[in-house]
Amino acid sequence: AEMLVEHSRNGIALRRDGNRGPGATPQGVYRCRGDDEWVAIAATDDAARVSLATLIARPELGPHPTAWRERADEIDKLISDWTTRRSVADAVDTLRAGGVAAARVTAPPALLSDPQLLERGFWETVDHPVAGSFLCTGMPFAFVGKPRRWIHRVPPLYGEHTDEVLTGILGRSQRDLVELRALGATASRPAGL
């Protein structure tokens, strides 16, 4: 919807921006030294851009986002040249010390044991009768004075609520249910299993 509204209201044709976004210039994910190590970087203000320009030995880029946007691909290569020579920890520490927002890109499985997410109750344990017990994402926010837990029941099994919906909500009879099953319109398990 954003693309349609932007074009119909402002005449702007949005395009794919990859990791670039409107809130920071430059903004991206860059490889670091090591096996599949990456750092996410976002220069959100003039001071951060000046600091980043100094780190990549291009102080002439200055603070203005327009200059950075016009040369975005070239600058991404310069930043990549800088990050690939450093460990992700060194890159993050150096960038943050200079006022540039930076963070290690964490592999999805490692998020399950992330201390920040665990402490905030982001993961909720679901005990499913077929899939077993597993962690599931909760909401990334909490309401003051309300319980943090959002998941109150497990995902339904295949066809678990069919009878309830057809009879209780749609007013079908038990005889209708038998006919629908005989026709193959409803089932308690997927076709072919």
Residue 2 has what DSSP assignment? H
Whether 24 and 42 have beta carbons less than 8 Å apart is answered as yes
- Exposure class string for 132-167: b at 16+ Cβ within 10 A, else e: eeeeeebeeeeeeeeeeeeeeeeeeeeeeebbeebe
Rounded CA separation 56/51 (Å) = 9
Give the per-residue SS3 of 136-166.
EECCCCCCCCCCCCCCCCCCCCCCCCHHHHH
Digitized pLDDT (tens) for each residue of the chain, 193 residues in all:
677 888 888 888 776 766 677 778 999 999 999 999 999 999 999 999 999 999 999 999 999 888 898 899 999 999 999 999 999 999 999 999 999 999 999 999 999 999 988 888 889 889 998 889 988 888 878 788 887 788 888 888 899 999 999 999 999 999 999 999 999 899 888 887 7
* CA 140 – CA 118 distance, rounded (Å): 12
Q: What is the per-residue pLDDT across 7-55, written as a single tens digit (0 to 9) for each? A: 888 888 776 766 677 778 999 999 999 999 999 999 999 999 999 999 9
Label residue 143 left, alpha or beta by phi (over 0 means left) and psi (-120 to 50 means alpha): beta
- 62: alpha, beta or left? (left if phi > 0; alpha if psi -120 to 50): left
DSSP bridge pairs for 42:
27, 101
